[in-house]
Amino acid sequence: MAKKSKTHLLKIHSLILNFFSKLAFFRKRKKEVDFDNGRKQSELDKRLVFSLSKSRIPSLRQLSYINNYLTPKERWIIIFSALIILGSLFTAGYKFYATHLHVVPVKGGKYIEGLIGAPKNINPLYAGVNDVDNDIVHLVYSGLFRRDKSGALVKDLAADYEISEDGKTYTFSLKPDVRWHDDVPLTADDVIFTFNAIKDAQYKSPLRSGFIGVNVERIDDHRFKFILTDPYAAFLDLLTFGIMPVDIWSQIPPESASLYGLNLKPVGSGPYKFLSLVRDEKTGAVKEYNLAVNEDYYGVAPRIDIGFRFFASFEEAVEALNNKAINGISYLPRENKEDIITPKTYNYHKLYLPQLTLIYLNQKKNPALGDKAVRQALFYAIDRNGIINDVLSSDAYSVNGPILPSSFAYNETIEKYEYNREKAGELLNNTDWKLVEITEETIAEAEIDKESSDEKIRQKAETILSLGLGKWRQKNDEWLVISLVTVERGENQSVIELVKKNWEEAGVKTVLEVLPAKRIQTEVIKPRNFEALFYGQVVGADPDPYAFWHSSQAVENGFNVADYTNKEVDQLLEDARIISDQGSRREKYRKFQEIISEEAPVIFMYSPVYVYIQDKSVNGFEVIDILYPYDRLSNIHEWYLKTGKKLIWQ
């Protein structure tokens, strides 16, 4: 009985488990059916909504109801997120603007410059005579070479060139597609015509002397070669003259070339072309001259037009600048600086010129100067930096030898002869030029002796009276007296007065003389009629100083004004000017400088600075070294007056 009861309970338990198992199955199945039905219903709802809407993207009208379905918390989350997104977009946009949107120069505007003088021959054959002509010629005409903003020689019309091993043949090829302002192609025939015109005595070009012994030959339309009788290392420096169009100028007789109308209305191939000129109604002189950008220029065309206005004096030019009638002046003399009313509105560009200002010492005229120690003492005795600061307002820098520091051939190890009064005195003492004091008592005795019937006593007395009170150098009854002469120009008078002061502090009596420019050449330089001469020297871009130091140039019309002769120097100069290798030339010139520095045949004073003034509205000027005044315009293609904004993606 008990066994049956147990079996019965097991069956009941099994039935209960089976019931709940089926119940769970049906519940799960119901959920799945409900889910499927819901999904199907959702799909049906979506289809219904999409069938009623033209776009799956909510419209602004539909979005206006979103606030009805969001909780306050959800609304703040959305607002905060939107602010973060907007802030990020603004920051990213500003950063992009700051790093990619640049202010850049743009074309437009006109620069007007004041020049002293007036144009006469805007022609490469004659431009070297007149700075005004030179300025315009080098904007209108192109040469085989030109100077860049650092003063280096760079190719212009020349695409390439080769130099023969013997240094006597230069073969050139021209840049293709260069055209004259009248749209005629520029060819080798134009180069050959211009060169032959320079050499033709009938044209009377001042460039002629530089090409004696040089000939040119045509190869084809774009190639030609120069053939030199002797090699010359600095030959390329001569090829910056402007090339003229043969089609126009070959029709004009050489004797009439300087009178032809194209001298004022030129046709060139340069970055600027002639636009217009304005003449004075009464005199007919050119008052204004205007150039326009050559948009077909083969190089980088300028951004601005340029005009020139001409004045009789720097005072007139400064007045025009103060009145804003011009934007700049080609050169501002030191004495006119104070006339600028608003100096802070201008840039004063200080450009380095390849010029030396020095004191030539004539050993033949004054025997005392034949002693090297005396010459060195005179060099040490001059406070050159004081002169530069006090007289020249720092518009110069001291130089120590015949080759400027900017040259590849400069020897920085030579003696600098810094101002040293003690050193100067020591050198003079060692050569027996002793200090002797002339007192009031000495003067009184000389006043009596000058009336003596004895000529020697009388001359001695007159010498003492001319020396005056002080301590002066004397040797063997001879006094150390030097006559120093200069040309009547600019600050020369003030400079030599300080030289006199320095020399006399060392016991060297100094007598000054200032002569007009028209007399200095004929009465002083040509006949070498001086003891000491304060004068300038233009040395050029190439370091070759042959003309100033070779003994062959120590003649009446030569540039060796000090009449310096030295066989070793002669050989060094002869060798260096025919060597093409720059390193070899450098070594020759280094030795040459050492000799000149040691012998001190001249006293090197300073190199002047060329002050070019421009309104600060003119941007892009970066010139440093110039050979001639017109080189201040060498980077005019980079100048600009206006700016714009441009996206740069890099």
Nearest alpha-carbon partner for 585 in 596, 572, 569: 572
Q: For residues 61 and 75, what is the distance between their CA atoms, to the nearest angstrom?
A: 18
Where exactly are the structural domains of the chain?
A: 110-327+617-647, 355-432+480-609, 434-478
Q: For residues 35 and 37, what is the distance between their CA atoms, to the nearest angstrom?
A: 5
Q: For residues 409 and 575, what is the distance between their CA atoms, to the nearest angstrom?
A: 14
Contact 566, 386 (CB under 8 A): no
SS3 145: strand
Q: How many residues does the chain have?
A: 650
Per-residue exposure over 322-338, b if at least 16 CB sit within 10 Å of its own CB, e if not: eeeebbbbbbbbbebee
Q: For residues 74 and 191, what is the distance between their CA atoms, to the nearest angstrom?
A: 84
Phi, psi of 96 (to 5 degrees): -65, -45
The pair of three-digit structure tokens given for residue 418, joined into one six-digit string: 């810094």
First to last CA, the chain: 101
Q: Could you tell me which residues come within 8 angstroms of residue 606 by beta carbon, excluding any fewer than 6 positions away?
A: 357, 384, 387, 388, 392, 396, 397, 398, 399
pLDDT of the residue at 1: 47
Distances (CA, A) of 398 to 331, 356, 395, 565, 611: 21, 9, 10, 25, 17
Q: Could you tell me which residues come within 8 angstroms of residue 408 by beta carbon, excluding any fewer than 6 positions away?
A: 543, 582, 586
Indicate the helix (H) or strand (E) that contains 420.
Answer: none
Q: For residues 394 and 402, what is the distance between their CA atoms, to the nearest angstrom?
A: 21
What does DSSP assign to residue 249? H
Contact 302, 271 (CB under 8 A): yes
Indicate the helix (H) or strand (E) that contains 544.
Answer: none
Nearest alpha-carbon partner for 585 in 414, 355, 406, 411: 411
pLDDT of the residue at 549: 97
Q: For residues 620 and 349, what is the distance between their CA atoms, to the nearest angstrom?
A: 12
Low-confidence ranges of the chain (pLDDT < 50): 1-4, 33
Q: Could you tell me which residues come within 8 angstroms of residue 28 by beta carbon, excluding any fewer than 6 positions away?
A: none
Nearest alpha-carbon partner for 381 in 533, 531, 507: 507
The pair of three-digit structure tokens given for residue 62, joined into one six-digit string: 């539909």
Phi, psi of 204 (to 5 degrees): 55, 45
Question: From the centroid of its chain, how far is CA 43?
Answer: 80
Q: For residues 181 and 295, what is the distance between their CA atoms, to the nearest angstrom?
A: 10
Distances (CA, A) of 259 to 203, 247, 252, 277, 286: 11, 18, 10, 17, 15
Nearest alpha-carbon partner for 419 in 603, 562, 594, 590: 603
Phi, psi of 287 (to 5 degrees): -100, -35
Contact 114, 108 (CB under 8 A): no
Class of domain 355-432+480-609: alpha beta
Q: Which superfamily, per CATH, for 110-327+617-647?
A: Periplasmic binding protein-like II (3.40.190.10)
pLDDT of the residue at 237: 94
CB-count exposure of residue 556 (10 Å: 0-12, 13-18, 19+):
exposed
Q: For residues 124 and 198, what is the distance between their CA atoms, to the nearest angstrom?
A: 9
